[in-house]
């Protein structure tokens, strides 16, 4: 079998997705997700101009060799654009191989090592009563783990809070919007939020919280300590992780478990965090981290240090990446939890898929390959539109991490 052609499908069914379709001379095709939220066309150009011409005529079963060819062969390494492009190729090749062997992809990754995958949902509210109401709605849908975000009094447009009662969706068409942030007000408010939520929902539901890289290490340490009575499943992205050593300080002060890595694009972003056991969950995602080939290696390294996975699974990843995460997660032993932020019905229609949610768990389904296809006619009705994530400023106007 040889790779005969490859092309990109750009579409925007409620949000932008870049999809790579690789065709073989035997009629089998594979799909890969190349979506880099807010920088979509950079990855599309990287693939079209520099990667696709190198793929034609290659053996699609030689996944490791093609991964190394694209990574080492480019001389320039890492970065979200490069690694998202490599991931798209990698996932499409795994899809082709599993389809050619007529088996679900997880069987090529070791087979199922659990019956279902615990997932967490997003609960958001403008204030504490709104957040509690949202948590209860998700409990009614069977979720066993719930991320809770709430508006902070005195802070306009807090992270994680939807506008106009819609599902939370940060990417907006047009130029980036700006929101305000006050660490001081947030640090005083967050323990009150989780005290109130625990009082209402009891001890059994897993509660998670995203700090979105907004704190310094010592601020994150204070927050983790103040949240210990409410025994969070994790606090996520407590501080920017470029300086991996910052997590040492957090760890010295709190037993609240730490998850990080949704913006990582290389194993080396996580290396010190894992080997020093400064984190408990690795949030790297298949699409931005170099694909299944790269994430399998990162997960296996993490397993040695009892660090588990918590793959990013927001709607900025297409259903192709969600399927890939579920196939990998159900196979590896150190799976921890999977983020589940459902796509809109329109996005689900554009990407028909076999994975499913039921009673707090997800399952990749048993169709050969990834179990995801794309309705190109429908996708064609929703062309790409420029969109950005917001940016955040502190109350004095200083730009800060969003």
Known catalytic residues are: 159, 212
Scanning 48-56, 69-77, 202-210, 384-392 for contacts with Mg ion by CB under 5 A, the matching segment is: 202-210
Measured from the CB atom, the residue of 11 and 322 that comes closer to Mg ion is 322
Q: How far is the CB of 262 from Mg ion (least distance, A)?
A: 5
User: Maximum CA pair distance of the chain?
Assistant: 61
| Contact partners, residue 180, CB within 8 Å, separation at least 6 | 155, 156, 157, 392, 393, 394, 395
Rounded least distance, CB 373 to Mg ion, Å: 28
Query: What CA–CA distance (Å, rounded) separates 398 from 299?
Result: 37
Segment near Mg ion (CB under 5 A); pick from 76-84, 185-193, 206-214, 294-302: 206-214
Closest residue to Mg ion using C-beta atoms: 210
Q: Which listed residue (95, 210, 269, 316) binds Mg ion by CB under 5 A?
A: 210
Nearer to Mg ion, 95 or 210 (CB): 210
- Measuring CA to CA, how many Å separate 356 from each of 115, 132, 317, 359? 13, 26, 16, 10
Compute the least distance from the CB of residue 283 to Mg ion, in Å.
Answer: 7
Say how far apart CA 277 and CA 274 lie, in whole Å: 5
Residues numbered 55-84 forming contacts with Mg ion, rule: CB under 5 A: none
As measured in angstroms, the least distance from the Cβ of 15 to Mg ion is 16
Measured from the CB atom, the residue of 284 and 367 that comes closer to Mg ion is 284
One character per residue 159-198, x = contact with Mg ion (rule: CB under 5 A) = ----------------------------------------
Minimum distance of Mg ion from residue 316's CB (angstroms): 10
219 binds Mg ion (CB under 5 A): no
- Pick the stretch among 52-60, 159-167, 208-216, 263-271 that binds Mg ion (CB under 5 A): 208-216
Q: CB nearer to Mg ion: give 16 or 149.
A: 149
Residue 3 and residue 22 in contact, taking contact as beta carbons nearer than 8 Å: yes
User: Do 123 and 138 meet the contact criterion of CB atoms below 8 Å apart?
Assistant: yes
Q: CA-to-CA distance for 150 and 129, rounded, in angstroms?
A: 9
Options 150-158, 196-204, 210-218, 330-338: segment touching Mg ion (CB under 5 A): 210-218
Residues that contact Mg ion, how many (by CB under 5 A): 1
Phi, psi of 171 (to 5 degrees): -70, 130
Q: Nearer Cβ to Mg ion, position 95 or 280?
A: 280
Contact between 262 and 312 (Cβ < 8 Å) = yes
Give the nearest distance from C-beta 212 to Mg ion in angstroms. Answer: 6
Cα–Cα distances (Å) from 223 to 135, 162, 188, 212, 350, in that order, read 21, 23, 9, 13, 41
Per DSSP (E only), the strands in 106-165 are 117-125, 145-150
Name the residue nearer to Mg ion (CB basis): 210 or 219: 210
- Residues 145 and 120: beta-carbon distance below 8 Å: yes
Q: Name the segment binding Mg ion (CB under 5 A); options: 64-72, 129-137, 149-157, 207-215.
A: 207-215
Spatial separation of the C-alpha atoms in residues 271 and 260, rounded to whole Å: 12
3-state secondary structure of 400: strand
Chain contacts with Mg ion (rule: CB under 5 A):
210
């Amino acid at each position: 079998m040889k790779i005969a052609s490859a092309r990109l499908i750009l579409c925007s069914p409620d949000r932008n997705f870049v999809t790579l379709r690789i065709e073989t001379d035997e009629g089998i095709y594979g799909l890969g997700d190349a979506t880099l939220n807010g920088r979509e066309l950079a990855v599309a150009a990287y693939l079209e101009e520099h990667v696709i011409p190198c793929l034609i005529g290659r053996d699609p079963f030689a996944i490791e060799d093609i991964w190394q060819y694209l990574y080492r062969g480019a001389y320039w390494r890492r970065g979200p654009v490069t690694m998202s492009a490599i991931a798209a190729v990698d996932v499409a090749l795994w899809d082709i191989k599993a389809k050619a062997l007529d088996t679900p992809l997880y069987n090529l990754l070791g087979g199922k090592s659990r019956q279902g995958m615990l997932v967490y949902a997003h609960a958001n509210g403008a204030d504490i009563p709104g957040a509690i109401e949202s948590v209860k709605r998700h409990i009614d849908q069977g979720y066993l783990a719930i991320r809770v975000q709430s508006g902070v009094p005195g802070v306009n447009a807090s992270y994680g809070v939807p506008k106009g009662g819609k599902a939370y969706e940060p990417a907006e068409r047009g130029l980036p919007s700006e929101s305000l942030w006050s660490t001081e007000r947030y640090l005083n408010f967050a323990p009150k939020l989780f005290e109130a939520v625990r009082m209402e929902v009891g001890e059994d539901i897993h509660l998670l919280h995203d700090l979105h890289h907004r704190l310094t290490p010592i601020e994150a340490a204070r927050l983790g300590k103040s949240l210990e009575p409410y025994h969070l499943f994790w606090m996520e992205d407590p501080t920017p992780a470029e300086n991996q050593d910052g997590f040492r300080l957090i760890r010295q002060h709190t037993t609240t478990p730490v998850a990080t890595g949704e913006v990582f694009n290389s194993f080396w972003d996580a290396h010190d965090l894992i080997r020093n056991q400064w984190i408990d969950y690795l949030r790297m995602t298949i699409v931005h981290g170099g694909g299944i080939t790269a994430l399998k290696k990162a997960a296996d390294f993490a397993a040695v240090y009892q660090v588990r996975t918590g793959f990013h699974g927001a709607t900025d990843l297409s259903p192709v990446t969600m399927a890939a995460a579920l196939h990998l997660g159900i196979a590896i032993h150190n799976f921890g939890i999977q983020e589940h932020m459902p796509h809109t019905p329109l996005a689900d229609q554009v990407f028909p898929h076999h994975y499913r949610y039921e009673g707090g768990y997800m399952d990749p389904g048993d169709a050969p390959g990834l179990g995801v296809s794309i309705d190109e006619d429908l996708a064609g009705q929703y062309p790409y539109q420029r969109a950005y994530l917001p940016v955040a400023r502190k109350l004095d106007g200083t730009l800060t991490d969003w």
